């Protein structure tokens, strides 16, 4: 490789600068240049909600290194030996002559940048729904630090009492959470009938929605914004939704997802993949071997399904940037694919997912088995303990884990990372429950909540535990089915909070063996306790005593997201 080779990178936010820095460390002589359309580079897009909420005091924090240096052209030049052109848009790629045409957006000046290796890190752009009123004052995206600056300035005026967030994906939820923390009344409008539709299965989402309702967040699910209305001065005054009508607000955040920026690549004749993003191989090479692409503009391979997916995530951008930095300097690094792992802290709940969701797995033809379990994230006697709920999605035939989801005040993310690691290697249910994970009272239980969740699946597979999910039980109860809800807590624990329904019976687990005669043998029985642990014991006791139609409420009362007073249809 020539020592003076020219590496040209289009895009200066995450993947691009990472590729540049890595390439520089591997090749001190190469001429490395970054072109960035915007004015800011290498900023912490994920930090925006934390700037709005005030956890980040100073706007500059969004583009400073951890040691306090702004990542601008001066920094790239002096610390990295990389030339950075900001406000410079690449307009065309001449692959024949290996030249990129660009324009300075301030001066209009046209420029040409020759390259030996070209890196496309053109990112993604927010999708703006085609509705009336998106240009009103007070209507913002949440895609660029400038957006967060405008939103924070607005909120800091003290004049924003209500806000509407359009879209309950990750960005919408984090934005809504930030506003909520600033004491703004928040309404979230989402076209799909659940929050975080790309992240959580419906049952897990319902758990989060229950919590959000309880906290006072308005959720309009399965609804859509028809138009945004303004006052005479052009300030937003409210939105009109299809189902819920007019909602007053002084601020609207549009968070309807992003689309990969592929035009430049497509115009140059590079292959665009089935997920509508730039197609790359595992070396992050496009259909032109001298052109690489990475970050939010490329599509990825899902490691479980093998399908192409579009999963724009900061962590992929960084890791792909490193791979590209290797490969444009003669390396042979690979990025094998993604599990779609995602985590977030929203409304003081930790949520996460990895791998396939339940419906996704069914659509792919797996013989899906799942279980949801409730538990504590560490020993109950440790002050910091919190509740966590995990859902394991597995293939009943191969016993392989396909995915996991978690939610709770406790440490969900650690367990999502463990499952993500395990399924990378094709772990089975048994593998996952046998992991030698760290245990001490401040961190876990002797049997980790994830191992516990896996054991619930195994018990179901082995026929030891038959379960019923909240949604199914609700339907049966509403349909007026004559079943028995057997709450196995003590009378004292039962008294303050339980199903308000005449089909309920309370028998403490410790009394169950001697009260078997009182329990009807002709009814379907659903055993109930807060976590599902005593309910499982009760199932085993009843089955052992010859009761045949006995199930436990999966995940316990803690996974019941509905009212406890049942309205029969």
Catalytic residue set: 46
Nearer to its own copies, 373 or 433 (CB): 433
The pair of three-digit structure tokens given for residue 201, joined into one six-digit string: 């299965």
φ and ψ of 370, to 5 deg: -135, 160
What is the DSSP pairing of strand 218-221 with strand 225-230? unpaired
240 binds its own copies (CB under 8 A): no
Q: Which stretch binds its own copies (CB under 8 A): 210-218, 331-339, 360-368, 394-402?
A: 331-339
Residues 137-156 that bind its own copies (CB under 8 A): none
The pair of three-digit structure tokens given for residue 284, joined into one six-digit string: 């992050």
Nearer to its own copies, 92 or 413 (CB): 413
Kindly give, in sequence order, each residue whose CB lies less than 8 Å from that of residue 523, ignoring residues fewer than 6 positions away. Answer: 482, 483, 484, 549
Q: Exposed, middle or buried: residue 568 (CB in 10 Å: 0-12, 13-18, 19+)? A: exposed
Binding residue (CB under 8 A) for its own copies from 62, 100, 204, 394? 62
φ and ψ of 431, to 5 deg: -55, -45
Binding residue (CB under 8 A) for its own copies from 34, 36, 38, 50? 50
371 binds its own copies (CB under 8 A): no
317 binds its own copies (CB under 8 A): yes
CB-CB contact of 7 with 31 (8 Å): yes
CB-CB contact of 350 with 173 (8 Å): no
Binding residue (CB under 8 A) for its own copies from 93, 121, 155, 344? 344
CB-CB contact of 196 with 257 (8 Å): no
Nearer to its own copies, 250 or 405 (CB): 405
Tell me how far, at minimum, the Cβ of 426 lies from its own copies, in Å: 8
| DSSP label at residue 198 | T
Cα separation, 28 vs 35, in Å, equals 20
Binding residue (CB under 8 A) for its own copies from 10, 178, 313, 535? 313
Beta-ladder partners of 8: 33, 118
Closest CA to 30 of 323, 289, 329: 329
341 binds its own copies (CB under 8 A): yes
Closest CA to 257 of 351, 165, 155: 165
Tell me how far, at minimum, the Cβ of 195 lies from its own copies, in Å: 16
Q: Is 189 in a helix, a strand, or coil? A: strand
Cα 23 from chain centroid (whole Å): 30
φ and ψ of 521, to 5 deg: -90, -10
Binding residue (CB under 8 A) for its own copies from 1, 29, 183, 231? 29
Binding residue (CB under 8 A) for its own copies from 96, 157, 232, 380? 380
The pair of three-digit structure tokens given for residue 356, joined into one six-digit string: 């396939």
Binding residue (CB under 8 A) for its own copies from 301, 343, 477, 535? 343
Residues 460-489 that bind its own copies (CB under 8 A): 464, 489
CB atoms within 10 A of CB 206: 20
352 binds its own copies (CB under 8 A): yes
Binding residue (CB under 8 A) for its own copies from 536, 555, 559, 560? 536
Q: Which stretch binds its own copies (CB under 8 A): 90-98, 241-249, 257-265, 372-380?
A: 372-380
Nearer to its own copies, 367 or 434 (CB): 434
498 binds its own copies (CB under 8 A): no
Tell me how far, at minimum, the Cβ of 420 lies from its own copies, in Å: 5
26 binds its own copies (CB under 8 A): yes
Tell me how far, at minimum, the Cβ of 249 lies from its own copies, in Å: 26
Closest CA to 488 of 523, 550, 452, 537: 537
Q: Which stretch binds its own copies (CB under 8 A): 182-190, 212-220, 232-240, 374-382?
A: 374-382
Tell me how far, at minimum, the Cβ of 314 lies from its own copies, in Å: 5
Residues 77-136 that bind its own copies (CB under 8 A): 78-81
Radius of gyration of the chain (CA): 27
Nearer to its own copies, 129 or 441 (CB): 441
72 binds its own copies (CB under 8 A): no
548 binds its own copies (CB under 8 A): no
301 binds its own copies (CB under 8 A): no
Nearer to its own copies, 443 or 562 (CB): 443
Give the number of residues in contact with its own copies, rule: CB under 8 A.
Answer: 99
518 binds its own copies (CB under 8 A): no
CA separation (Å) from 77 to 31, 117, 217, 365? 11, 20, 47, 52
Kindly give, in sequence order, each residue whose CB lies less than 8 Å from that of residue 216, ignoring residues fewer than 6 positions away. Answer: 185
CB-CB contact of 392 with 453 (8 Å): yes
Strand ranges (E), 242-321: 245-248, 251-254, 258-260, 291-293, 300-301, 308-309
Residues 266-295 that bind its own copies (CB under 8 A): none
Q: Is 251 in a helix, a strand, or coil? A: strand
Tell me how far, at minimum, the Cβ of 369 lies from its own copies, in Å: 19
Cα 204 from chain centroid (whole Å): 12
Tell me how far, at minimum, the Cβ of 98 lies from its own copies, in Å: 25
Strand ranges (E), 409-561: 467-468, 484-487, 504-506, 525-528, 550-553
Tell me how far, at minimum, the Cβ of 324 lies from its own copies, in Å: 14
Residues 402-461 that bind its own copies (CB under 8 A): 411, 413-414, 416-418, 420-422, 424-427, 431, 433-444, 446-447, 451, 455
Nearer to its own copies, 124 or 420 (CB): 420
Tell me how far, at minimum, the Cβ of 183 lies from its own copies, in Å: 18
What is the DSSP pairing of strand 88-94 with strand 99-104? antiparallel
Tell me how far, at minimum, the Cβ of 67 lies from its own copies, in Å: 7
């Amino acid at each position: 490789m020539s020592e003076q080779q020219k590496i040209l990178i289009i895009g200066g936010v995450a993947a691009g600068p990472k590729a540049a820095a890595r390439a520089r460390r591997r090749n001190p002589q190469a001429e490395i240049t970054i072109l960035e359309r915007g004015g800011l580079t290498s900023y912490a897009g994920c930090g925006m909600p934390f700037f709005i909420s005030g956890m980040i005091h100073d706007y500059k924090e969004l583009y400073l290194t951890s040691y306090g240096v702004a990542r601008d052209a001066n920094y790239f030049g002096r610390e990295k030996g990389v030339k950075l052109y900001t406000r410079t848009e690449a307009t065309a790629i001449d692959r024949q002559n290996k030249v990129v045409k660009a324009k300075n957006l301030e001066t209009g000046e046209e420029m040409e940048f020759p390259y030996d290796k070209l890196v496309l890190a053109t990112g993604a752009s927010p999708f703006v729904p085609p509705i009336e009123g998106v240009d009103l004052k007070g209507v913002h995206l949440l895609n660029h630090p400038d957006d967060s600056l405008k939103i924070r300035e607005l909120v800091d005026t003290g004049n924003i009492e209500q806000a509407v967030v359009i879209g309950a994906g990750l960005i919408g939820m984090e934005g809504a959470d930030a506003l909520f923390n600033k004491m703004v009344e928040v309404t979230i409008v989402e076209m799909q009938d659940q929050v975080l539709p790309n992240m959580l299965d419906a049952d897990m989402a319902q758990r989060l929605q229950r919590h959000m309702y309880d906290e006072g967040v308005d959720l309009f699910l399965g609804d859509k914004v028809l138009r945004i209305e303004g006052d005479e001065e052009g300030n937003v005054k409210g939105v009109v939704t299809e189902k819920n009508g007019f909602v007053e607000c002084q601020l609207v955040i549009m968070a309807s997802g992003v689309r990969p920026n592929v035009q430049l690549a497509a115009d140059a004749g590079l292959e665009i993949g089935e997920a509508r993003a730039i197609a790359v191989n595992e070396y992050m090479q496009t259909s032109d071997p001298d052109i690489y692409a990475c970050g939010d503009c490329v599509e990825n391979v899902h490691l479980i399904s093998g399908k192409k997916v579009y999963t724009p995530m900061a962590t992929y951008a960084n890791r792909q940037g490193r791979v590209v930095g290797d490969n444009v300097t003669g390396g042979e690094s690979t990025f094998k694919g993604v599990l779609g792992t995602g985590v977030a802290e929203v409304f003081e709940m930790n949520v996460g997912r990895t791998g396939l969701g339940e419906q996704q797995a069914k659509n792919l033809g797996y013989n899906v088995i799942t279980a949801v379990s409730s538990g504590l994230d560490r020993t109950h006697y440790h002050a910091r303990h919190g509740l966590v709920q995990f859902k394991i999605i597995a293939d009943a035939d191969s016993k392989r884990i396909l995915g996991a989801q978690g939610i709770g005040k406790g440490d969900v993310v650690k367990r999502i990372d463990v499952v993500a690691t395990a399924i990378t290697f094709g772990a089975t249910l048994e593998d996952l429950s046998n992991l030698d994970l760290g245990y001490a009272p401040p961190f876990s239980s002797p049997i980790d909540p994830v191992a516990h969740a896996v054991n619930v699946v195994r018990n179901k597979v082995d026929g030891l535990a038959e379960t019923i999910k909240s949604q199914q039980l609700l339907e049966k109860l509403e349909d007026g089915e004559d079943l028995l809800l057997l709450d196995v807590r003590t009378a004292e624990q039962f008294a303050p909070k339980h199903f308000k329904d005449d089909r309920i019976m309370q028998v403490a687990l410790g009394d169950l063996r001697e009260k078997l005669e009182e329990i009807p043998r002709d009814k379907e029985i659903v055993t109930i306790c807060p976590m599902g642990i005593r309910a499982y014991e009760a199932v085993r006791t009843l089955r052992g005593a010859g009761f045949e139609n006995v199930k436990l409420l999966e995940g316990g009362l803690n996974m019941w997201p509905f009212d406890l007073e049942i309205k029969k249809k």
